[in-house]
Amino acid sequence: MASSLKSGTKNLRVQQTAKTRQKPPTLRRFKPNFRWEETELEPYKVASGTVGDFRGASRQVLIGKRGEQVAFHVRYFELEPQGFTSLERHRHAHVVIAVRGRGFVRVGDQEYDVSPMDLVYIGPDEPHQLKASADESFGFFCIVNARRDKPRPIISRV
């Protein structure tokens, strides 16, 4: 009796898990103002003393947060005019594709002007930062490994 009760509880748990786990949406339509259906607009980071300085940045996780079976995440970041990400490094690489407005990308000691459809490769452990121009928002896709290390901020000495 105890064995069948235990088995029944396990089966109920499996059924509940299957019901609550939903298949990720196959299509999320693009909406005005660089938003996507069924995709939450999130802060770039939660400010704390360990994340480095940043301003005017938001993100949307397009692939990688809803159970997609992939080894990478696709995120869309947007920087307000004069906004910027933290200066940081990671052990993983990034691929950045500019899609909206103009901005600047610092990789190591070099800074590059970027505009829509420019592609930037940021190798492992390379210090990097993205900045919007003074007069327009700058939006870009960022593709990274699904399993990755946390950013390590770099204190800029001006």
Catalytic residues: 142
Neighbouring-strand partners of residue 43: 58
CA-CA-CA-CA torsion sign (130, 136, 139, 140): negative
Structure-block tokens of residue 26: 């196959």
> Closest by alpha carbon to 74, among 61, 92, 59?
61
Q: Which two tokens stand for residue 14?
A: 């499996």
DSSP reduced 3-state for 98: strand
Nearest to 139 by CA among 75, 80, 97, 78: 78
What does the alpha-carbon distance between residue 156 and residue 128 come to, in Å, rounded to a whole number? 11
Rounded to whole angstroms, the Cα distance separating 158 from 155 reads 9
